[in-house]
Amino acid sequence: MGCEAMIPVGRTWTMCGREPADLHHKITRARGGLILDHHGETYHQMRLCREHHGIAHDKPAFKTGLLIDGFITTCTRCREPKYEGTDLYLTEHYGAREVHVQCVRAGLRGADSGEVLRGEA
């Protein structure tokens, strides 16, 4: 598979497509990207050619979609990924809300701080 970076071509956008293309983590490994890898999540990954990978870690990369803001940790109760940031997909699937999404799905009371789930007392 070639580079997945979108580039302008005339009045439209198309995939770069250059090869070789290396795996890029839009949530860097230092910010928990490997935690998602270990859980089989691929949303935060894309293939980039060397040129686009070289610019993928610059500050504008958050605005261009080459990086996703926030970070991933592992919930101390359910051991599932927990996301804190503004990405809608990651918030929906791994969001650190008042009560961690994965803890609710697992039927655990509370999240990291041991709070009681709504409706339970």
Provide long-range contacts, Cβ within 8 A and 24+ apart, for 15-22: 16/49, 16/52, 18/49, 18/51, 19/49, 20/49, 20/50, 21/47, 21/48, 21/49, 22/47, 22/48, 22/49, 22/50, 22/53
Q: Once rounded to an integer, what is the mean pLDDT over residues 73-98?
A: 86
Q: Is pLDDT of 104 > 70? A: no
Distance of CA 17 to the CA centre of its chain: 23
Report the C-alpha gap between 95 and 114 in whole angstroms: 17
At 90 the pLDDT is 95
Report the C-alpha gap between 121 and 113 in whole angstroms: 16
- Reported pTM: 0.75
For residue 20, cis peptide bond before it (omega within 30 degrees of 0): yes
Report percent pLDDT > 70 for the chain: 79
Which residue in this structure is represented by tokens 């979609």?
65
Give 18-30 pLDDT, tens digit per residue: 999 999 999 999 9
Banded model confidence at residue 99, pLDDT cuts 50, 70, 90: low
Report the C-alpha gap between 105 and 49 in whole angstroms: 38
